[in-house]
Chain A
């Protein structure tokens, strides 16, 4: 299990994440929602150890996140990050070299599903193809936690379906999936828990089914409540 305790991150004078406490449990698919600048990406980066919190702590199975947790937490950044000289094949070899849970067979299968080939140069890929490559290499790991930052951004409907299928395939009782997106309707179909972030704060974490049953509201309705009307909750 992953736990954030009063985590705060500042970049200069700007506070990107402010006092966030959160528990992520295995067997769940979380939809991390919020507009740009709400702190979703920074929180994910801190969980995977790319960014260091100014205060608070993040624990994975009771220990602070670091080298050991990176063996079990897979992160897909929203921006392209592969070296310019790499082909899709090189990206796979790189992951195989560093991550014991990476499966080259699974990677090749996912590339084929996404209609990508190993000889494609990373720097020449369109944004849609890059999104597919990033998801393929991330999901070819047998990780315990997957953090997918805006995996559905800028890609067509068919590719989106592939990615959603890929995410669902990885779901299992001992795996935690966190997917951030602006596409609330898309996420509502796959996630079972919604995390709402706003202006660097955690607004709420709620089960999607419970929300529907108790208040008759969808995730989209709740999203409008939190972020619509100038941000004033009704």
Chain B
């Protein structure tokens, strides 16, 4: 499966490089603004980095759905389905590569944020005062500021898992469009409605589950639920591909 993953990564390499280039520009503007006291640079840098960080993860996921759609609906599909690999391996490579890419993209921006924050604090030279000011502001709004690193990590992983679950729903909708609904009028629209309904269904099902007492447990439950649903959807999608898909 590693070879399939290698080519999955390669397919969208250009867009990843473009994202990285924008991030580099934003970072350069931020650092120049910080060290040369160039306020506009600082604003441009922070805005660019925020946009790249927020939309980067979103874009990586959406692009994987677009690629999957192309892999099933163009002659490019032969590259995958001529190989001696079954549908579960082909789909698995996509899911794992995309999950890893999203995770690493998120981790990269989290680390970059942390580093930029540290550099800014060192540059300003009053780390403790800087943090205290933030704490005071938050306390004025009655927000608890006791944030542990493991909490941040769990929230990050829960969001990641939720995004992977959404992508798994997208993969299933695309496969149904190319198999069960193939040749039917409005097959694309039907698949999109199916995607919306299934997304609503799995979210509603999660809301029915009992609320854990702590935030940590809630996030852990959300993460487990998302991964479980993604796994079930992966099984169904692979099964449909294996039996019904003609490219």
Would A11 and B183 be within 8 Å (CB), given that A51-B247, A52-B244 are in contact? yes
Would A81 and B78 be within 8 Å (CB), given that A50-B246, A52-B244 are in contact? yes
CB pair B81 A50 closer than 8 Å: yes
**Closest chain B residue to A91, Cβ basis:** B79
Give the segment of A19-27, A68-76, A162-170 that binds chain B.
A68-76
Whole-angstrom CA separation of A234 from B14 in the bound complex: 60
Give the segment of A31-39, A94-102, A180-188, A203-211 that binds chain B.
A94-102
CB pair A83 B11 closer than 8 Å: yes
Interface residues of B in 57-96 (CB under 8 A from A): 75-79, 81-86
Is A128 an interface residue when CB atoms closer than 8 A count as contact? no
Would A81 and B81 be within 8 Å (CB), given that A51-B246, A51-B247, A52-B244 are in contact? no
Interface residues of B in 1-46 (CB under 8 A from A): 3, 6-7, 10-11, 13-14
Is B243 an interface residue when CB atoms closer than 8 A count as contact? yes
For the A-B complex, the count of residue pairs with Cβ-Cβ distances under 8 Å equals: 64
Q: Which residues from chain B contact A51 at a C-beta distance below 8 Å?
A: 246-247
> Binary interface profile of A, 46-58, with partner B (CB < 8 Å = 1, else 0)?
0011111000000
Nearest first, the 9 A-B pairs at minimum CB distance are A12-B183, A51-B246, A81-B78, A81-B75, A98-B83, A70-B84, A71-B84, A79-B75, A97-B3
Would A85 and B246 be within 8 Å (CB), given that A50-B78, A94-B79 are in contact? no
Q: How many B residues touch A, CB cutoff 8 Å? A: 26
Q: Which residues from chain A contact B127 at a C-beta distance below 8 Å?
A: none
Candidate in A12, A80, A97 with the most chain B CB atoms within 10 angstroms:
A97
Whole-angstrom CA separation of A85 from B15 in the bound complex: 13
CB pair B84 A50 closer than 8 Å: no
Candidate in B10, B11, B79, B85 with the most chain A CB atoms within 10 angstroms:
B79
Is A157 an interface residue when CB atoms closer than 8 A count as contact? no
Is B221 an interface residue when CB atoms closer than 8 A count as contact? no
Is B245 an interface residue when CB atoms closer than 8 A count as contact? yes
CB pair B78 A70 closer than 8 Å: no
Question: Can you list 28 A-B pairs, Cβ within 8 angstroms, ordered by A?
Answer: A12-B183, A45-B246, A48-B82, A49-B81, A50-B246, A51-B247, A52-B244, A52-B246, A66-B86, A70-B82, A70-B83, A71-B84, A75-B82, A77-B75, A77-B78, A80-B75, A81-B75, A81-B78, A82-B76, A82-B79, A83-B11, A83-B76, A85-B10, A94-B7, A97-B6, A97-B7, A98-B3, A99-B84
